């Protein structure tokens, strides 16, 4: 019984600096919550979150540049302690995640719209309508905990996309989800709906993680390891036909598709998106989707790439179903937030199209041009700008201090405030995929990748689906610009936001148009990132 000596792992902490910064700043935020007096607390939290995320983006870029110039070498020493992998696609996803995280966090800081308060309830523990709640409102309390919570969630997303191990993938998924369950229950108005959304999201999310975990257990039983490399070699060894492997693939796929919000695991999306505070909705709909797609990509390409012929048809079916169901149900919705929720379901389907295509330069299927990883990343960036922008405009259309999300009440809103109206027009056109916007280039690259990957029929179905989806956005645009307001909705107006929201709107506007007018540099950058998505396993 002599205990063997423990050999400490060699950790390349330098590679993890962006992730550690986000995690550390989140912990610091909790300390601020505890020790900084109430008056300067909110400003401190905002400043801390913004600076932290900016630092994370900066260090990610630094890792990228130095990796290129050879100072540190993310291309050879990519694997930290065998479970986390930092390679160019991961760096690209980190940059995208932290970027959109930064934009969302700036959106959280908006206070002018709510006459000095935030979009979050003053006291979540107070019973809706109680004296404690009104007292908290009068005392001007704010829940500045949302900033550390959002940062924790972002840290989970960063871990999720860089996982090279099923167990780390699971832990990342949970770190991502838990703060979101809390944040979606904190809406200022319509609190019961918001609380219900939190409960629904929590129960369904917990069940999805349990299913995912059961799949991980199957894959472990199949491969005898959690490591992607070992799973991949076991897949190659058994030619991808082992029953344990198939069961594990199915269960893990269900868990990941739930997070992405693909049909038939989408039922939580409209309710949660509608009930959650709108800034949280835009954070969820963009960052969660990017992280889940990133995790799914690495899992399916690297660990399960050897059984591509099994999962490609399955994912193709899910993609078609998602596009069709999302687009068709969105047409019948009467609530703007629900329309955007169903539109985001349809977009999950569009994103899955190039995932199925599975064209990467790394696996030598097709050389040159945008591989599917690059096109997925581009699509996600374009989708992110347009979606955050659209949800931000939703926060501006108000009546008597409350958001108005009823589509019929939006009649003529675009004409009454041309600047906001024009911005919304651009966002909606980008979501619809009309030329000169980022959405068009994203869709073009995505479908082209699927086409080159041999799934031309899927690309055709996706094009047909996106034509149906155009109608969703045309309908909103038509109401906003070409319908006279009804007499009883006359008090609906566009409220003038504070600086934070203007920054968000400007960034999203420039991003959406910029990606549409000059997509070249971004595509090139992402293309060079995507080249190394499969480091060793083939």
Partner 1 sequence: MTSLYAILAVILFTIGLVGFLVRRNALVIFMCVELMLNAANLLFVAFSSHWGILDGQVAAFFVMVVAAAEVVIGLSIIVMISRSRRSTSVDNEIVLKG
Partner 2 sequence: MMLIPMVTGVEVTFWICAVLAILGAVGLVTFRKPVYSALCLALVMISLAVIYASLGAPFLFAVQIIVYTGAILMLFLFVIMLVGVASEDSVTETLKGHRVAVAIAGLGVLVLLVLAVAQGVHGTPVGVDSANTSAGGNVQGLADLIFSRYVIAFESTAALLITAAVAAMVLAHPELIKKKAGQTQMAAARLQAYARDGVDPGPRPSSGIFARHNSIATPALLPDGTIAQESVSKVLADRVGLRSVDELWGPHDEVLAAIETAGEEPLDVEDLDWDDDETAPGELEPADDHVVDETADEPAPGEPDTTDDQNESEESHADAVAETPADEEKRND
* Residues near partner 1, by CB under 8 A: 124-125, 127-130, 167, 170-171, 174, 178, 181-182, 185, 191-192, 195-196, 198-199, 202-203, 206-207, 209-211, 213-214, 216-218, 220-221, 224-226
Spatial CA neighbour of 123 closest among 183, 186, 181? 186
The CB density around residue 140, as the number of other CB atoms within 10 Å, is 12
Least separation, in Å, of the C-beta of 360 and partner 2? 26
Query: Is-contact 177 209, C-beta < 8 A?
Result: yes
Q: Name the minimum Å distance from CB 157 to partner 1.
A: 16
Q: Which is nearer to partner 2, 4 or 487 (CB)?
A: 4
**Binding pattern to partner 2, positions 58-97, x when CB under 8 A?**
----------------------xxxxx-------------
Return d(Cα 522, Cα 538) in angstroms, integer.
27
Eight-state DSSP code of residue 300:
I
Using the minimum distance from each CB to partner 2, give the nearer residue, 11 or 490.
Answer: 11
Closest contact distance (angstroms) between CB of 123 and partner 1 is: 11
Closest CA to 258 of 196, 313, 177: 177
Complex with partner 2: residue 164 or 360, whichever CB lies closer: 164
Q: Is the peptide bond before 264 cis (omega within 30 degrees of 0)?
A: yes
Nearest to residue 156, comparing CAs of 164, 144, 168?
168
**Shortest distance, CB of residue 374 to partner 2, whole angstroms?**
27
Binding of partner 2 by 7 (CB under 8 A):
yes
- Sign of the dihedral defined by the CA atoms of residues 197, 198, 201, 203, in that order: negative
Q: Which does 414 bind (CB under 5 to 8 A by kind): partner 1, partner 2, none?
A: none
Phi and psi at residue 406, in whole multiples of 5°? Answer: -70, 125
Q: How far is the CB of 244 from partner 2 (least distance, A)?
A: 3
Beta bridge partners of 227: 165
**Least distance in angstroms from the C-beta of 427 to partner 2:** 28
| 4-13 long-range Cβ contacts below 8 angstroms, 24+ apart | 9/81, 10/81, 11/80, 11/81, 12/77, 12/80, 13/80
Which of partner 1, partner 2, none has residue 73 at its interface (CB below 5 to 8 Å by kind)? none
- In the bound state with partner 1, the residue whose beta carbon lies nearer, of 202 and 455, is 202
- Least distance (Å) between residue 327 CB and partner 2: 25
CB nearer to partner 1: pick between 53 and 142: 142
Decide: is 511 part of the binding site for partner 2 (CB under 8 A): no
CA–CA separation, 423 and 506 (whole Å): 9
Q: How many residues make contact with partner 2 (CB under 8 A)?
A: 70
Give min distance, CB of 187 to partner 2, in A: 11
Measuring CA to CA, how many Å separate 268 from each of 74, 205, 271, 328, 339?
38, 9, 6, 17, 14
At 80, give phi and psi (nearest 5°).
-95, 115
Among candidate residues 431, 513, 413, the one with its CA nearest the CA of residue 471: 431
Radius of gyration over every alpha carbon of the chain, rounded to an integer in angstroms: 23
Choosing among partner 1, partner 2, none, which partner's interface includes residue 431 (Cβ < 5 to 8 Å by kind)? none
Please list every residue from 114 through 153 that binds partner 2, using CB under 8 A. 123-132, 135-136, 139, 141, 143, 145, 148-149, 152
Residues 386-425 vs partner 2: string with x where CB under 8 A? ----------------x-----------------------
Per-residue contact track with partner 2, 161 to 190, x per CB under 8 A?
----x-xx--xx-xx--xx-xx--xx--xx
Shortest Cβ 155–partner 2 spacing (Å): 6
84 binds, among partner 2, partner 1, none (CB under 5 to 8 A by kind): partner 2
Q: For partner 1, give the closer residue by CB, 100 or 212.
A: 212
Residues 292, 348 contacting (CB under 8 angstroms): no
Which residues are 163's β-sheet partners? 84
Distance separating alpha carbons of residues 326 and 466, to the nearest angstrom: 11
Residue 208 CB, nearest distance to partner 1 (Å)? 10
Instruction: Measure the CA angle with vertex 343, ends 339 and 345; round to 5°.
Output: 120
Residue 207 contacts which entry, partner 2, partner 1, none (Cβ below 5-8 A, type-dependent): partner 1
Interface positions, 238-257, toward partner 2 (CB under 8 A): 242-247
Of the candidate spans 214-222, 285-293, 406-414, 519-527, the one that interacts with partner 2 by CB under 8 A turns out to be 214-222
Task: Report how far residue 188's alpha carbon sits from residue 278's, in angstroms, rounded to the nearest whole number.
Answer: 10
- At 347 the three-state DSSP class reads helix
The β-bridge partners of 117 are: 114
CB of 464 to partner 2, least distance (A): 31
- State the DSSP H helix or E strand holding residue 205, giving kind and residue range, or none if neither: helix 191-223
CB count in 10 Å sphere of residue 310: 17
- For partner 2, the binding residue among 159, 262, 428, 448 (CB under 8 A) is 159
Three-state DSSP at 406 gives strand
Measured CA to CA, the distance from residue 490 to residue 402 in angstroms comes to 14
- DSSP code for 335: B
Which residues of this protein are in contact with partner 2, per CB under 8 A? 1-4, 6-9, 11, 16, 23, 26-27, 30, 33, 80-84, 123-132, 135-136, 139, 141, 143, 145, 148-149, 152, 155-156, 159, 165, 167-168, 171-172, 174-175, 178-179, 181-182, 185-186, 189-193, 218, 221-222, 242-247, 402
């Amino acid at each position: 019984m002599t205990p063997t000596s423990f050999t400490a792992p060699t950790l390349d902490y330098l590679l993890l600096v962006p992730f550690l910064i986000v995690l550390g700043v989140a912990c610091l935020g909790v300390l601020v919550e505890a020790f900084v007096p109430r008056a300067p607390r909110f400003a401190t939290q905002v400043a801390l979150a913004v600076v932290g995320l900016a630092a994370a983006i900066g260090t990610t870029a630094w890792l990228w540049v130095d990796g290129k110039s050879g100072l540190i070498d993310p291309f050879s020493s990519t694997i930290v302690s065998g479970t986390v992998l930092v390679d160019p696609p991961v760096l690209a996803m980190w940059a995208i995640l932290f970027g959109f995280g930064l934009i969302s966090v700036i959106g959280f800081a908006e206070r002018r719209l709510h006459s000095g308060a935030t979009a979050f309830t003053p006291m979540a523990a107070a019973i809706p309508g109680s004296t404690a709640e009104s007292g908290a409102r009068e005392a001007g309390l704010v829940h500045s905990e949302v900033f550390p919570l959002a940062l924790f969630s972002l840290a989970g997303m960063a871990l999720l996309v860089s996982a090279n191990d099923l167990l780390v993938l699971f832990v990342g998924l949970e770190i991502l989800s838990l703060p979101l369950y809390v944040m979606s229950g904190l809406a200022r108005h319509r609190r019961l709906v918001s609380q219900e959304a939190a409960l629904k999201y929590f129960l369904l999310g917990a069940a999805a993680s349990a299913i995912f975990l059961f799949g991980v257990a199957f894959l472990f039983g199949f491969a005898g390891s959690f490591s992607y490399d070992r799973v991949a070699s076991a897949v190659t060894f058994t030619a991808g036909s082992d029953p344990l492997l198939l069961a594990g693939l199915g269960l893990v796929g269900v868990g990941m598709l739930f997070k992405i919000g693909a049909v038939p695991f989408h039922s939580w999306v409209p309710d949660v998106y509608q009930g959650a505070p709108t800034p949280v909705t835009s954070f969820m709909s963009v960052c969660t989707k990017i992280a889940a797609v990133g995790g799914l990509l690495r899992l399916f390409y690297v660990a399960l790439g050897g059984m591509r012929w099994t999962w490609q048809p399955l994912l193709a079916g899910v993609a078609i179903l998602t596009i069709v169901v999302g687009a068709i149900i969105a047409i019948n919705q009467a609530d703007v937030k629900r329309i955007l929720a169903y539109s985001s379901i349809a977009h999950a389907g569009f994103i899955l199209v190039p995932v199925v295509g599975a064209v990467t330069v790394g696996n030598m299927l097709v050389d040159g041009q945008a591989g599917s990883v690059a096109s997925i990343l581009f699509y996600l960036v374009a989708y992110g700008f347009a979606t955050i922008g659209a949800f931000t405009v939703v926060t501006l259309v108000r009546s008597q201090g409350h958001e108005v999300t009823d589509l019929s009440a939006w009649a003529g809103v675009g004409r009454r405030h041309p600047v906001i109206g024009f911005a919304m027009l651009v966002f909606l056109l980008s979501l619809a995929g009309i030329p000169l916007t980022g959405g068009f280039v994203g869709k073009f690259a995505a479908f082209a990748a699927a086409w080159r990957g041999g799934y031309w029929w899927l690309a055709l179905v996706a094009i047909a689906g996106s034509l149906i989806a155009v109608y969703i956005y045309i309908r909103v645009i038509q109401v906003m610009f070409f319908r006279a307001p009804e007499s009883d909705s006359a008090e609906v107006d566009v409220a003038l936001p504070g600086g934070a929201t203007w920054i968000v709107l400007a960034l999203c506007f420039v991003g959406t148009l910029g990606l549409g007018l000059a997509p070249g540099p971004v595509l090139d950058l992402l293309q060079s990132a995507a080249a190394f998505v499969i480091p060793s396993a083939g």
